[in-house]
C-alpha cells in the first residue's frame, strides 16, 4: 500500500512526468487535495505529492487540456459545486487549480471532445441538480460557461461513448434515485438530445462502457451496489 491524503474517493492513472512510467492520482475528499504518486516502473511509487483542489473533490480524471503534451488533472468538487483543473508541468507537479462552475453537488467527472474541435471538454454528473454539466474547452486550459442537460433523479456516475454510431460522443449516467440510466445522444456541437431512460439494477453506483458481445456496438455496464451484481445493457440497434 502507498499512502495518500485522507478519504481518497477516486483514482486515475497517467504519465505525469513523461518518463514512460504510469503514475497515480487520487481525489482526497477529506482534505480537499489531489495526491500524485509518481511510478518507478516496477510497481512501486514515490511518496505522494499533494496539490489543493476545490472543496471536497469526489472524483478525478486526466487529460491534456492546454495541448502542451503534458497531462493535466480535473476534479469534481462536491461541496463547492464546481470542477477544478490543475495544469501539469510535465515533471509531476501542477499549477494552482482553476475552478469552473458546474451544477449542484457534482459526483463524478469525465472528459471527451463533445464539439469536434480537437480540444478536450469536461462533463460532470450533478447529483443535486439532476443534470450533467458540459464545459467546452479552449486550447489554453480554460473552459466556457457550463451548459446543463437534464438527467433523471440523482445521477452519481457518468461515462462517454458513441452509442448510435454517428461518430459523435454521447453520455450515459446512472441515477440512483429511480434506479435508471440516462442516455443523452450528442449532436457533435457540444449539445445533447433529451435523455432516454432505461431501467437499471438496484442502486447502481457507477457506469462504464465497452463492446461486450463483439458486435461493434458499445454496451453499458453498471455496478449494483446493494444487490451485489453488475448489470449489462447490450445495444440492440
CATH label of the domain that carries residue 38: 2.130.10.10
Q: Which three cell numbers stand for residue 4?
A: 495518500
Q: What is the four-CA torsion angle of 196, 202, 208, 214, rounded to 10 degrees?
A: -80
Please say whether the beta carbons of 207 and 220 come within 8 A: yes
Residue 67 forms part of a structural domain: yes
pLDDT at 169: 98
Residue 224 forms part of a structural domain: no
DSSP reduced 3-state for 90: coil
Owning domain of residue 21:
8-205
Residue 136 forms part of a structural domain: yes
| Alpha carbon distance 69, 208 (integer Å) | 26
pLDDT at 218: 86
| Alpha carbon distance 7, 40 (integer Å) | 24
- Beta bridge partners, 52, equal 33
| Alpha carbon distance 28, 211 (integer Å) | 32
pLDDT at 1: 82
Residue 84 forms part of a structural domain: yes
Residue 30 forms part of a structural domain: yes
Q: Over the stretch 141-184, which tens digit does the pLDDT of each residue have?
A: 999 999 999 998 899 999 999 999 999 999 999 988 788 889 99
Half-sphere exposure of 180 (CA within 13 A, CB side): 14
| Alpha carbon distance 23, 199 (integer Å) | 37
Average pLDDT over the chain, rounded to whole?
A: 91
Count of domains observed in the chain: 1
Cβ atoms within 10 Å of 10's Cβ, excluding its own: 20
Cβ atoms within 10 Å of 158's Cβ, excluding its own: 27
Q: Which three cell numbers stand for residue 77?
A: 468538487
Residue 216 forms part of a structural domain: no
pTM of the entire predicted model: 0.93
Please say whether the beta carbons of 86 and 97 come within 8 A: yes
| Alpha carbon distance 47, 174 (integer Å) | 35
Residue 114 forms part of a structural domain: yes
Residue 201 forms part of a structural domain: yes
Give just the sign of the alpha carbon dihedral 153, 121, 33, 92.
positive
Please say whether the beta carbons of 174 and 233 come within 8 A: no
Say which residue the cell 489543493 belongs to.
52
Work out the average pLDDT over 41-48: 96
Amino acid at each position: 500500500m502507498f499512502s495518500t491524503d485522507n478519504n481518497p474517493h477516486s483514482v486515475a492513472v497517467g504519465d505525469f512526468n513523461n518518463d514512460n512510467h504510469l503514475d497515480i492520482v487520487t481525489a482526497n475528499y477529506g482534505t480537499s487535495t489531489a495526491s500524485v504518486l509518481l511510478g518507478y516502473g516496477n510497481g512501486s511509487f514515490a511518496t505522494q505529492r499533494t496539490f489543493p483542489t476545490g472543496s471536497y473533490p469526489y472524483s478525478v480524471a486526466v487529460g491534456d487540456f492546454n495541448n502542451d503534451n503534458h497531462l493535466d488533472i480535473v476534479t469534481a468538487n462536491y461541496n463547492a459545486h464546481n470542477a477544478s483543473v490543475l495544469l501539469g508541468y510535465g515533471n509531476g507537479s501542477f499549477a494552482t487549480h482553476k475552478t469552473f462552475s458546474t451544477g449542484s453537488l457534482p459526483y463524478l467527472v469525465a472528459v471527451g471532445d463533445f464539439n469536434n474541435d480537437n480540444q478536450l471538454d469536461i462533463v460532470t454528473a450533478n447529483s443535486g441538480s439532476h443534470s450533467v454539466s458540459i464545459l467546452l474547452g479552449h486550447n489554453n486550459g480554460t473552459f466556457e460557461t457550463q451548459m446543463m442537460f437534464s438527467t433523471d433523479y440523482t445521477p452519481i456516475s457518468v461515462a462517454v461513448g458513441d452509442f448510435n454510431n454517428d461518430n459523435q460522443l454521447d453520455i450515459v449516467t446512472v441515477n440512483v434515485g429511480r434506479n435508471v440510466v440516462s442516455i443523452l445522444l450528442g449532436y457533435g456541437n457540444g449539445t445533447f438530445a433529451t435523455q432516454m431512460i432505461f431501467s437499471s439494477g438496484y442502486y447502481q453506483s457507477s457506469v462504464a462502457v465497452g463492446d461486450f458481445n463483439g458486435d461493434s456496438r458499445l454496451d453499458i455496464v453498471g455496478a449494483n451496489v446493494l444487490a451485489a451484481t453488475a448489470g449489462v445493457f447490450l445495444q440492440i440497434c
